[in-house]
Amino acid sequence: MAVVEIPGSKSVTARALALAAGGRGETVLERPLHSDDTEAFAEGLRSLGYEVRLAPGAWTVVGSPDGPPAAEASVFSRDAGTAARFLPALAAVGRGTYRFDGSEQMRRRPVGPLVAALRAIGAQVTHDGAEGHLPITVVTTDAEGGTGGGLAIDASVSSQFLTALLLAAPRMPRGLRVEVTDMVSRPYVDMTVAMMEAFGVVVGREGDTFTVANQDYAGRRYPVEPDASTASYVFAAAALTGGTVTVPGLGRGALQGDLAFVDVLARMGADVVVEADRTTVTGTGRLRGLTVNMRDISDTMPTLAAIAPFADGPVRIEDVANTRVKESDRLEACAVNLRRLAIDVATGPDWIEIHPGTPRGAEIACFADHRIAMSFSVTGLRTPGLTLDDPACVRKTFPEFHEVFAALREQLPAAG
């Protein structure tokens, strides 16, 4: 049996940083994720004038409830969707001129519905490049700023637009009432609301309409749970090889919807035990094919696609259109790589279907996407000669992935 310590959640770390920045007093994040995305978030806060101190295992943020301390700033989000979407909303409730940009990859990803929402609450937002994409500039003045009010938002492309607004909402003088017309990745919004409440804020919710009054956040010590999306790779490794993997710190009551990936493995035949403070997956030597809707947990779509060839029947993954606007077009990236491995695969606008087969060794094209690299590393446990063209792209969420995965490999049953 292997016990794998998984680093902190990217999504929880990003939210805790944003909440800490908007709160009164100091917040200490315990065991935050230290990776490219969360470093970009912390650096973004620093650019906005917040005091952020990064010590191993404990990050401290000094809050500024009235918005960014800096009156002018330029923020570079690197590849981080969380930073690119959450930080402009924080800026909109301040007073100043704030420019936001990101990597080429991040520039390709959408921010249009967020820009529309920030304008609707009273901030001035201009595009410095393509409409609906970074770079953007948010300008707020005494006369004009993110004062709040009522609006509707379409979160069918990304839930991060809604999370961004909600995180900033308590600092809007008029509060916020937001009606969501369509939503993907719903558990991430539940996480946002739960964490806002943990920082002392009341969020009203009736169906998909959220109301937040103008109120204060309180700084606090905040423990960050391990990353459930990252854990999907080691759980999949257990299911594939017939080994047992336990991840401590992730159990019933976890904030992250992606822990539900283990339910998919259970449907495929793995033995899954979710306890209060840990989760264990044991492979049973066979994987069953299935059809599964992954709209709520789409970051784990590539994990499933990567082990799908080993199932005894087709694996069809549905309702994941928005995976096409992540770090890569993930439906396409999975299909391209499965075909390189000589696996029969078909895709549509929002689905992928993978047929059983024996993958042959090939180089995986990572498309600078950490999840493609980590997912196909799991395939590599049973595919001699599988290599990655860009192993370093895992730094986005799990810089130590290859070392941890190599150590795990030693503890899993060898191919028979």
Ligand X SMILES: O=C(O)C1=C[C@@H](OP(=O)(O)O)[C@@H](O)[C@H](O)C1
Ligand Y SMILES: C=C(OP(=O)(O)O)C(=O)O
Interaction residues for ligand Y, span 340-379 (CB under 6 A): 371
Q: Which does 397 bind (CB under 5 to 8 A by kind): ligand Y, ligand X, none?
A: ligand Y
Task: Name the residue nearer to ligand Y (CB basis): 81 or 283.
Answer: 81
256 contacts ligand Y (rule: CB under 6 A): no
Residue 46 annotated as part of some ligand binding site: no
Shortest Å distance, C-beta 325 to ligand Y: 9
303 contacts ligand Y (rule: CB under 6 A): no
15 contacts ligand Y (rule: CB under 6 A): no
Task: Name the residue nearer to ligand Y (CB basis): 19 or 412.
Answer: 19
Whether the upstream peptide bond of residue 7 has omega within 30° of 0, thus cis, is no
99 contacts ligand Y (rule: CB under 6 A): no
Q: Which does 256 bind (CB under 5 to 8 A by kind): ligand Y, ligand X, none?
A: none
101 contacts ligand Y (rule: CB under 6 A): no
Residue 371 annotated as part of some ligand binding site: yes
**Cα distance between residue 101 and residue 137, in whole Å:** 9
311 C-beta neighbours (distance < 10 Å), count:
20
Positions marked catalytic: 299
User: By Cβ distance, which residue is nearest to ligand Y?
Assistant: 81
Which of 390, 415, 403, 397 is CA-nearest to residue 78? 397
Helix (H), strand (E), coil (C) string for 52-71? EEEECCEEEEECCCCCCCCC
81 contacts ligand Y (rule: CB under 6 A): yes
**Cα distance between residue 184 and residue 335, in whole Å:** 22
Residue 103 annotated as part of some ligand binding site: no
Single-letter residue type at 33:
L
Residue 159 annotated as part of some ligand binding site: yes
299 contacts ligand Y (rule: CB under 6 A): yes
Q: Which does 322 bind (CB under 5 to 8 A by kind): ligand X, ligand Y, none?
A: ligand X
380 contacts ligand Y (rule: CB under 6 A): no
Whether the upstream peptide bond of residue 135 has omega within 30° of 0, thus cis, is yes
Site string for ligand Y, 23-62 (x = CB under 6 A): ----------------------------------------
Give kind and range of the element (H or E) at residue 402: helix 401-411
- Quick one: residue 242, left, alpha or beta (phi over 0 = left, psi -120 to 50 = alpha)? left
Single-letter residue type at 43:
E
**Cα distance between residue 321 and residue 350, in whole Å:** 4
**Cα distance between residue 6 and residue 15, in whole Å:** 19
Cβ contacts of residue 327 below 8 Å, gap of 6+? 79, 105, 367, 368, 369, 370, 371, 396
**Cα distance between residue 361 and residue 373, in whole Å:** 15
Burial-class residue 184 by CB neighbours within 10 Å (0-12, 13-18, 19+): buried
Integer-rounded Cα radius of gyration of the chain: 21
Task: Name the residue nearer to ligand Y (CB basis): 42 or 311.
Answer: 42
Task: Name the residue nearer to ligand X (CB basis): 225 or 299.
Answer: 299
Instruction: Out of 80, 111, 352, 408, point to the residue binding ligand Y (CB under 6 A).
Output: 80
Task: Name the residue nearer to ligand Y (CB basis): 138 or 297.
Answer: 297
What φ, ψ does residue 414 adopt, rounded to 5°? -75, 160
Which of 82, 86, 84 is CA-nearest to residue 104? 84
Please check whether residue 38 is in contact with residue 47, taking contact to mean a CB–CB distance below 8 angstroms. no
Shortest Å distance, C-beta 346 to ligand X: 23
73 C-beta neighbours (distance < 10 Å), count:
22
Residue 81 annotated as part of some ligand binding site: yes
Residue 299 annotated as part of some ligand binding site: yes
List residues binding ligand X (CB under 6 A): 11, 14, 81-82, 158-160, 163, 184-185, 188, 298-299, 322
DSSP 253: T
Task: Name the residue nearer to ligand Y (CB basis): 28 or 233.
Answer: 233
Task: Name the residue nearer to ligand X (CB basis): 101 or 258.
Answer: 258
Instruction: Out of 163, 397, 398, 408, point to the residue binding ligand Y (CB under 6 A).
Output: 397
Residue 215 annotated as part of some ligand binding site: no
**Binding-site residue positions:** 10-11, 15, 81, 109, 158-160, 299, 322, 326, 330, 371, 396
Interface residues toward ligand Y, by CB under 6 A: 80-82, 299, 326, 371, 397
**Binding-site residue positions for 3-phosphoshikimate:** 10-11, 15, 158-160, 299, 322, 326
**Binding-site residue positions for phosphoenolpyruvate:** 10, 81, 109, 160, 330, 371, 396
